């Protein structure tokens, strides 16, 4: 028994004195490994008389557990200390100026979203959001596009696997589902815009599988096409930073609006460059219309009391147009040279007062 006490004192002292994990590991091997001192004593149990074994057995086991526990605790202590030291060593001074070569930029699409938000916010619109992975119901059915409706085929939809109840989610093919989500979670009058990512299974020089749209929705008790037209006109003047914009409304069809129109704005294409606010050419920029009564109903709004208008616009193409980026695919290549060239300074926020794009 004396052996055991002496060995315990010696081993615990060694553990206490260990300053790194390697030292602890060699103490462990020397005590508890196959040829270790404690293991040797354990082997001695076999040669003892049963009476001797009755006291020596538990004592040895106790020693083994105690030493093992002390080693584990010391290891944890050392690990904590190492982490503390590393955290102290790797602290960053957030107040230091950023090195010029590390400076990030705002992507033209983000810039255009900021500009549009600023313009619509000044007209009393709030920003609303919906999920990119959307229920088939909100993306189609609630927008008056029931299953089997031919408009579904035009959307090149990415479908997620069907669930046991037969329903499936989709990557939203437009920002219009946010219309119904907003109607269901707030009360009219409504004025919202919903910028965000949209997805269609389509890829060539002018289409990427992921692209961006902005949706606008107004619901009130006396809303009409004149309001829609005025709103779009005000938006175009502010966004393209011109005093007059020539506009034309072409009759069109969308299942979720009635009547529906597509909006073209006047432009010139001299020398292959599109200029807004001059020339005799036309550029299609958005779809719009009066919200279909069925869509209001799906949104829990009484169409006998309320009407609304909505519009949807692709953002990538107008960002290209406004900032002169020639190739859509380059928008999403994450090429740092491109981003530095076409990106905007982070603190250069668009405001109506200072000029939207300065």
Should residue 312 be labelled a site residue for ligand DAH when binding is judged by CB under 6 A? yes
Should residue 157 be labelled a site residue for ligand DAH when binding is judged by CB under 6 A? no
What is the smallest separation between the CB atom of 96 and ligand DAH, expressed in angstroms?
Answer: 45
- State the Cα–Cα distance between residues 77 and 279, nearest whole angstrom: 76
- State the Cα–Cα distance between residues 109 and 98, nearest whole angstrom: 24
- The alpha carbon of 58 is separated from its chain's Cα centroid by a whole number of angstroms, namely 59
What is the smallest separation between the CB atom of 156 and ligand DAH, expressed in angstroms?
Answer: 11
In the DSSP assignment, the letter for residue 213 is: E
Should residue 255 be labelled a site residue for ligand DAH when binding is judged by CB under 6 A? no
Nearer to ligand DAH, 292 or 322 (CB): 292
- State the Cα–Cα distance between residues 105 and 212, nearest whole angstrom: 19
Should residue 254 be labelled a site residue for ligand DAH when binding is judged by CB under 6 A? yes
Should residue 183 be labelled a site residue for ligand DAH when binding is judged by CB under 6 A? no
What is the smallest separation between the CB atom of 277 and ligand DAH, expressed in angstroms?
Answer: 24
What residues between 192 and 251 interact with ligand DAH by CB under 6 A?
215
Nearer to ligand DAH, 287 or 343 (CB): 287
- State the Cα–Cα distance between residues 304 and 221, nearest whole angstrom: 9
What is the smallest separation between the CB atom of 347 and ligand DAH, expressed in angstroms?
Answer: 33
What residues between 265 and 294 interact with ligand DAH by CB under 6 A?
287-289
What is the smallest separation between the CB atom of 280 and ligand DAH, expressed in angstroms?
Answer: 26
Should residue 311 be labelled a site residue for ligand DAH when binding is judged by CB under 6 A? yes
What stretch of H or E contains 258?
Answer: strand 257-268
Pick one of 176, 182, 223, 307: the residue that binds ligand DAH (CB under 6 A): 176
Where does this chain touch ligand DAH (CB under 6 A) — which range of 34-42, 132-140, 295-303, 307-315? 307-315
Should residue 125 be labelled a site residue for ligand DAH when binding is judged by CB under 6 A? no
- State the Cα–Cα distance between residues 19 and 119, nearest whole angstrom: 64
- Residue 352 region, left (φ>0) first, then alpha (ψ -120 to 50), else beta? alpha
What is the smallest separation between the CB atom of 174 and ligand DAH, expressed in angstroms?
Answer: 3
Nearest to 161, CA basis, from 170, 150, 148: 170
Number of residues that bind ligand DAH (CB under 6 A): 11
Pick one of 169, 172, 174, 181: the residue that binds ligand DAH (CB under 6 A): 174
Contacts of 60 (CB under 8 A, 6+ apart): 4, 38, 41, 42, 45
Residue nearest to ligand DAH (CB): 312
What is the smallest separation between the CB atom of 183 and ligand DAH, expressed in angstroms?
Answer: 13
Pick one of 171, 194, 283, 310: the residue that binds ligand DAH (CB under 6 A): 310
What is the smallest separation between the CB atom of 228 and ligand DAH, expressed in angstroms?
Answer: 9
In the DSSP assignment, the letter for residue 100 is: G
In this structure, are residues 303 and 290 in contact, taking their beta carbons and an 8 Å threshold?
no
Nearer to ligand DAH, 62 or 146 (CB): 146
Strands (E), 152-256: 169-171, 190-199, 210-220, 247-254
Where does this chain touch ligand DAH (CB under 6 A) — which range of 47-55, 96-104, 134-142, 310-318? 310-318
What is the smallest separation between the CB atom of 21 and ligand DAH, expressed in angstroms?
Answer: 60
In this structure, are residues 291 and 285 in contact, taking their beta carbons and an 8 Å threshold?
no
- State the Cα–Cα distance between residues 308 and 174, nearest whole angstrom: 19
What stretch of H or E contains 282?
Answer: strand 281-291
Contacts of 277 (CB under 8 A, 6+ apart): 240, 242, 243, 244, 245, 246, 266, 267
What is the smallest separation between the CB atom of 215 and ligand DAH, expressed in angstroms?
Answer: 5
Q: What is the contact surface with ligand DAH in residues (CB under 6 A)?
A: 174, 176, 215, 254, 257, 287-289, 310-312
């Amino acid at each position: 028994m004396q052996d055991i006490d002496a060995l315990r004192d010696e081993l615990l002292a060694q553990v206490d004195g260990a300053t790194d994990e390697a030292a602890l590991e060699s103490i462990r091997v020397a005590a508890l490994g196959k040829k270790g001192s404690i293991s040797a004593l354990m082997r001695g149990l076999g040669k003892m008389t049963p009476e001797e074994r009755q006291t020596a057995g538990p004592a040895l086991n106790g020693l083994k557990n105690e030493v093992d526990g002390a080693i584990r605790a010391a290891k944890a202590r050392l690990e904590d200390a190492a982490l503390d030291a590393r955290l102290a060593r790797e602290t960053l001074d957030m107040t230091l100026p950023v090195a010029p070569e590390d400076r990030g930029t705002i992507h033209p699409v983000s810039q255009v979203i900021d500009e549009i938000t600023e313009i619509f916010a000044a007209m009393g619109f709030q920003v609303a959001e919906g999920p990119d992975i959307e229920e088939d119901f909100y993306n189609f059915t609630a927008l008056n596009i029931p299953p089997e409706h031919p408009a579904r085929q035009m959307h090149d939809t990415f479908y997620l696997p069907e669930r046991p109840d037969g329903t499936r989610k989709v990557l939203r093919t437009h920002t219009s589902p946010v219309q119904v989500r907003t109607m269901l979670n707030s009360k009219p009058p409504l004025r919202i815009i919903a910028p965000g990512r949209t997805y269609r299974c389509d890829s060539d020089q002018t289409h990427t599988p992921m692209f961006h749209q902005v949706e606008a929705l107004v619901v009130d008790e006396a809303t009409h096409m004149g309001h829609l037209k005025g709103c779009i006109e005000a938006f175009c003047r502010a966004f393209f930073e011109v005093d007059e914009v020539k506009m034309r409304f072409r009759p069109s069809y969308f299942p979720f609006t009635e009547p529906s129109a597509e909006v073209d704005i006047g432009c010139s294409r001299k020398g292959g460059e599109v200029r807004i606010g001059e020339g005799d050419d036309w550029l299609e920029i958005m779809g719009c219309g009066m919200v279909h009564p069925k869509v209001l109903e799906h949104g829990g709004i009484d169409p006998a009391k309320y009407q609304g208008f909505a519009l949807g616009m692709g953002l990538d193409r107008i960002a290209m147009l406004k900032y002169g980026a020639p190739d859509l695919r380059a928008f999403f290549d994450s090429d740092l040279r491109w981003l530095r060239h076409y990106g905007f300074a982070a603190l250069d926020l668009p405001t109506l007062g200072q000029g939207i794009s300065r």
